[in-house]
């Protein structure tokens, strides 16, 4: 940098007044912008202007007026270049800051979504733990205490607590966009287990449950816990949708079948409030809910899980006509004999 400054100064001084060599100081400024601070660039620009003026008095050849004019032009060029270069650098710094802030916000949003998803998904196993704990206490308070039933309730507590921790692992995996863990899953069996966990709610709401599970269903390659999370979310939505209809009209139908393409289809149909078109348009949007205490993420999580398994989830419904929520998953390859 210093040698470049000296070269330009020397050339500007030995050449005629008519040659405006000093405009080359612009190159020095543009180079300096890459590694000097704004203050450093401003000081360097002042030095360049000083050298331009100094060389005007040292130059011997040519017309002084032309030299004066060129000195003015060079000084203006250096000044304008410095101003614009500093503006560009400031704008780049602002963009960089904004990007950093955006990345921080995105991290926070992801964290918020993860927290909300975990809170949503562990709710059901935790509610089951609380129910079993109440039952356990009641069996112990009996006189004489029914130790066998109390032990069964304690076992259910252990199973549901383990389930809550399994669910947290699955939600974290989903949030990190990791491919689901795959094992051969019998969807009917997984569904019966998930329905068992919601049994208490189904009974408490006097809902009549009908199961139409196909016998010859092929298995699917899936993460069983995640698929059960989906089934639980659909069951809870169906149960909640029926709170507004008289208890004798509350019907929940669970069915599984195989479609023409060979995929396994699982459907939850209810006789609840149904949905308007405006609800159907937003169903899968995160944090979209029509419920006072809803989080609006049950279906969002369910869709992420089904799509991560290469499946499809869809809803058909009309106001007061109940709703059918179904998903399909590709069947696993048949086992070689």
Ligand X SMILES: Nc1ncnc2c1ncn2[C@@H]1O[C@H](COP(=O)(O)OP(=O)(O)OP(=O)(O)O)[C@@H](O)[C@H]1O
Rounded to a whole number of angstroms, the minimum distance from the CB of residue 269 to ligand X is 9
Rounded to a whole number of angstroms, the minimum distance from the CB of residue 172 to ligand X is 18
**Rounded distance, CA 148 to CA 52, Å?**
100
Residue among 20 and 191 whose Cβ is closer to Mg ion: 191
180 is in the binding site of which of Mg ion, ligand X, none (Cβ under 5 to 8 A by kind)? none
Closest CA to 125 of 230, 235, 232, 246: 232
Instruction: Write the CA distances from 52 to 21, 64, 69, 71, 100, integer angstroms.
Output: 9, 14, 12, 6, 41
**Rounded distance, CA 13 to CA 74, Å?**
14
Cα dihedral 6→11→12→15 (10° resolution):
160
Q: Which residues, 300 to 319, sit near ligand X by CB under 6 A? A: 300
**Rounded distance, CA 111 to CA 114, Å?**
5
Rounded to a whole number of angstroms, the minimum distance from the CB of residue 116 to ligand X is 8
Listed ranges 144-152, 165-173, 211-219, 230-238: which one lies at the site for Mg ion (CB under 5 A): 230-238
Cis peptide preceding 106, ω within 30 of 0 = no
Residue among 14 and 288 whose Cβ is closer to ligand X: 288
Q: Which residues, 247 to 306, sit near ligand X by CB under 6 A? A: 270, 272-275, 279, 283, 289-291, 294-300
Which of 82, 229, 237, 256 contacts ligand X by CB under 6 A? 237
Instruction: Write the CA distances from 153 to 123, 158, 191, 193, integer angstroms.
Output: 19, 9, 21, 16
Which of 238, 254, 305, 313 contacts ligand X by CB under 6 A? 238
Rounded to a whole number of angstroms, the minimum distance from the CB of residue 36 to ligand X is 54
Which of 237, 273, 300, 328 contacts Mg ion by CB under 5 A? 237
Alpha helices in the chain (DSSP H): 2-14, 25-33, 38-58, 64-141, 147-175, 187-204, 224-241, 277-280, 298-308
Closest CA to 324 of 260, 251, 259, 261: 251
DSSP category for residue 331: B
296 is in the binding site of which of ligand X, Mg ion, none (Cβ under 5 to 8 A by kind)? ligand X
121 binds ligand X (CB under 6 A): no
**Rounded distance, CA 279 to CA 325, Å?**
14
120 is in the binding site of which of ligand X, Mg ion, none (Cβ under 5 to 8 A by kind)? ligand X
Rounded to a whole number of angstroms, the minimum distance from the CB of residue 315 to Mg ion is 12
Count CB-CB contacts under 10 A for residue 112: 11
Listed ranges 60-68, 132-140, 147-155, 236-244: which one lies at the site for ligand X (CB under 6 A): 236-244
Q: How many residues bind ligand X (CB under 6 A)?
A: 24
Does the CA dihedral 2-5-9-15 come out positive or negative? positive
Task: Enumerate binding residues for Mg ion (CB under 5 A).
Answer: 237, 298
Contact residues: ligand X, CB under 6 A: 120, 233, 237-238, 241, 270, 272-275, 279, 283, 289-291, 294-300, 323, 325
């Amino acid at each position: 940098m210093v040698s470049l400054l000296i070269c330009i100064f020397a050339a500007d001084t030995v050449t005629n007044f008519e040659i405006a060599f000093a405009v080359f100081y612009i190159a020095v400024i543009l180079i300096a912008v890459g590694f000097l601070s704004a203050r450093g660039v401003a000081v360097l620009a002042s030095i360049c202007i000083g050298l331009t003026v100094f060389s005007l008095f040292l130059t011997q050849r040519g017309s002084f007026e032309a030299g004066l004019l060129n000195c003015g032009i060079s000084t203006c060029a250096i000044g304008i270049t410095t101003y614009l270069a500093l503006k560009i650098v400031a704008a780049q710094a602002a963009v960089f800051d904004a990007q950093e802030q955006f990345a921080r916000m995105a991290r926070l949003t992801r964290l918020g979504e993860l927290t909300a998803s975990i809170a949503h998904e562990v709710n059901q196993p935790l509610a089951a733990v609380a129910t079993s704990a109440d039952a356990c206490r009641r069996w112990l308070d009996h006189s004489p205490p029914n130790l066998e039933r109390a032990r069964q309730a304690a076992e259910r507590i252990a199973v549901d607590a383990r389930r809550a921790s399994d669910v947290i692992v699955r939600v974290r995996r989903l949030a990190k966009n990791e491919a689901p863990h795959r094992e051969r899953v019998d969807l009917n069996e997984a569904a019966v287990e998930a329905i068992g966990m919601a049994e208490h709610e189904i009974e408490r709401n006097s809902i009549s449950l009908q199961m139409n599970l196909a016998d010859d269903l092929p298995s699917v390659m899936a993460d069983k816990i995640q698929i059960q999370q989906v089934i639980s979310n659909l069951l809870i939505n169906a149960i909640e949708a029926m709170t507004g209809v008289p208890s004798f009209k509350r019907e929940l139908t669970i069915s599984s079948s195989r479609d023409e393409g060979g995929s396994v289809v699982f459907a939850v149909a209810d006789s609840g409030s149904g949905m308007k078109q405006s609800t159907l348009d937003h169903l899968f949007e995160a944090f979209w809910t029509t419920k006072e205490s809803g989080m609006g993420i049950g279906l969002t999580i369910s869709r992420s899980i089904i799509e991560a398994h290469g499946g499809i989830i869809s809803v058909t419904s009309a106001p007061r006509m109940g709703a059918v929520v179904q998903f399909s998953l590709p069947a696993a390859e048949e086992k070689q004999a």
